């Protein structure tokens, strides 16, 4: 008798919450296990001479990785995806696959510090050329696009100032000069933003963050709008070896099951923290896309399905207050990641963005008084109470 339970590829067009929960379920034909098995094997027996099966060697692909790729491709509305061993390797893979010594990449001047360092250092070695630009400045963007870039990286909202740029408009202008558009969607996840629908060609994620959500693995993922582009980049993934382990792939798929629920509740908590900090006399400024004065607030309302759970703020006072405040916190852990179920706090100037020169940080608006928070799933009253008691100590 046929089984009553189908897997996602056999089902109808489900909504994102359902796709996230059910990714890879019921794909085991041997035992009918509901949760997919982990396949650690690095190699796969040939059917016969010169006849490989679907998988042949684990560096290129394997069943555990493939289930994550299929699930995230569906969530982002792409045709295919490539899972890599961290977010940086995903971005590196795109640059290796697409760019040569005479090519230009246009990147945001306030992008994630690791992406800034990667593009900057590879440009210094002559692999390609990078033009960092404030993408919210139409004249600066126009000038950068006149260099006829091959790739435009967009990060919206940006890290750590949560500035929002118009993805559809940048994609339109980039395509007009023949560039491909890569959007780093780590902060929003496909639950809150769908860059491929806005015109992007590739979406990247640090899967280390919200997609997994439990701060216990490193992963990156690229999702493609076009199959040929995905196939070309996969050739490079196999060529340089960007593979994720089967066990990490399994954990990531498990983390994805709660993605929609986590994102919603973390965002709800974040909104209350934003309201609390906005009215506090010891806070000079709060950055969050929900705030009407935040750069790109109106665009955020239009291109995002929510404002997200990352925010940053500047403390009133001099350099002395920073260590005092951080030391006084009991729940917010001083650590440089985001998107997990636990709330983290980070000082960008000495942590995530320390690889950028002080001058470049200043240009991007990242001051030494700035802190970034990733709001988790703890009880909101405990989170607000922790901030309150720590602010009372400075
Ligand atoms: N993109 C963004 C927006 C990030 O915040 C990060 C890491 O913090 C990365 C990419 C890099 O990801 P990973 O640390 O998994 O290499």
Asked if the model's pLDDT at residue 375 lies above 50, the reply is: yes
Residue-level pLDDT at 309? 98
Indicate the CATH number for domain 260-391: 3.90.1150.10
Active site residue 184: yes
Residue from 223, 133, 221 nearest 170 by CA: 133
DSSP 300: H
Mean pLDDT of 46-65: 97
Using the mean position of ligand 1's atoms as its centre, give its distance from the Cα of residue 54 in Å.
31
Mean pLDDT of 293-315: 97
Confidence band for 1, pLDDT divided at 50, 70 and 90: very low
Each residue's pLDDT tens digit, 188-233: 999 999 999 999 999 999 999 999 999 999 999 999 999 999 999 9
Asked if the model's pLDDT at residue 74 lies above 50, the reply is: yes
Rounded Cα distance between 270 and 187, Å, is 13
| For the chain, percent of residues with pLDDT exceeding 90 | 91
- Dihedral Cα 61, 114, 306, 136, nearest 10 deg: -120
Tokens of 54: 């679907």
Mean pLDDT of 85-90: 98
What residue ranges of the chain are covered by domains with CATH 3.90.1150.10? 260-391
The three-state secondary structure class of 106 is strand
* Among 88, 153, 213, 309, residue to substitute to test ligand 1 (most atoms within 8 Å of Cβ): 88
Rounded Cα distance between 233 and 347, Å, is 35
**Pocket residues for ligand 1 (CB within 6 Å)?**
86-88, 112, 114-115, 155, 159, 184, 186-187, 206, 208, 218, 220
Residue-level pLDDT at 13? 82
Each residue's pLDDT tens digit, 267-280: 999 999 999 999 99
Active site residue 276: no
Rounded Cα distance between 220 and 209, Å, is 9
Active site residue 112: yes
User: What is the topology classification, in CATH, of domain 16-256?
Assistant: 3.40.640
Asked if the model's pLDDT at residue 355 lies above 90, the reply is: no
DSSP 245: P
What residue ranges of the chain are covered by domains with CATH 3.40.640.10? 16-256
- Dihedral Cα 366, 369, 374, 380, nearest 10 deg: -150
Rounded Cα distance between 131 and 141, Å, is 10
């Amino acid at each position: 008798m046929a089984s009553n339970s189908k897997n996602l590829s056999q089902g109808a067009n489900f909504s994102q919450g359902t796709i996230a929960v059910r990714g890879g379920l019921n794909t085991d034909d041997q035992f009918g296990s509901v949760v997919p098995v982990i396949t650690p094997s690095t190699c796969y027996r040939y059917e016969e001479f010169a006849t490989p099966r679907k998988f042949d060697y684990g560096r290129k692909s394997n069943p555990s990785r493939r289930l994550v790729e299929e699930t995230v491709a569906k969530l982002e509305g792409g045709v295919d995806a490539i899972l890599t061993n961290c977010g940086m390797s995903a971005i590196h893979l795109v640059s290796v696959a697409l760019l040569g010594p005479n090519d230009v990449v246009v990147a945001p001047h306030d992008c994630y510090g690791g992406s800034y360092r990667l593009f900057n250092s590879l440009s210094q070695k002559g692999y390609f050329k990078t033009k960092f630009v404030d993408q919210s400045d139409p004249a600066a963007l126009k000038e950068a696009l006149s260099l006829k870039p091959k790739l435009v990286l967009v990060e919206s909202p940006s890290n750590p100032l949560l500035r929002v740029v118009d993805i559809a408009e940048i994609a339109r202008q980039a395509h007009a000069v023949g560039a491909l558009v890569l959007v780093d969607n780590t902060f929003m996840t496909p639950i809150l933003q769908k860059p491929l629908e806005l015109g992007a060609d590739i979406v990247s994620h640090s899967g280390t963050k919200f997609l997994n959500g439990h701060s216990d693995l490193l992963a990156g993922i690229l999702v493609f709008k076009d199959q040929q582009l995905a196939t070309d980049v996969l050739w490079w993934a196999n060529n340089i070896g960007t593979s994720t382990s089967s066990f990490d792939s399994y954990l990531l798929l498990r983390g994805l099951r709660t993605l929609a629920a986590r994102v919603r509740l973390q965002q709800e908590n974040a909104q209350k923290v934003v309201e609390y900090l906005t009215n506090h006399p010891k806070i000079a400024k709060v950055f969050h896309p929900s705030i009407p004065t935040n750069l790109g607030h109106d665009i955020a309302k239009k291109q995002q399905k929510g404002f997200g759970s990352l925010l940053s703020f500047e403390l009133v006072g001099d350099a002395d207050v920073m260590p005092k405040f951080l030391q006084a916190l009991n729940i917010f852990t001083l650590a440089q990641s985001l998107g997990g179920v636990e709330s983290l706090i980070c000082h960008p100037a000495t942590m995530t963005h320390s690889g950028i020169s002080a001058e470049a940080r200043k240009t991007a608006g990242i001051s030494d008084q700035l802190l970034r928070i990733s709001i988790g799933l703890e009880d909101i009253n405990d989170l607000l109470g922790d901030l309150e008691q720590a602010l009372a100590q400075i």
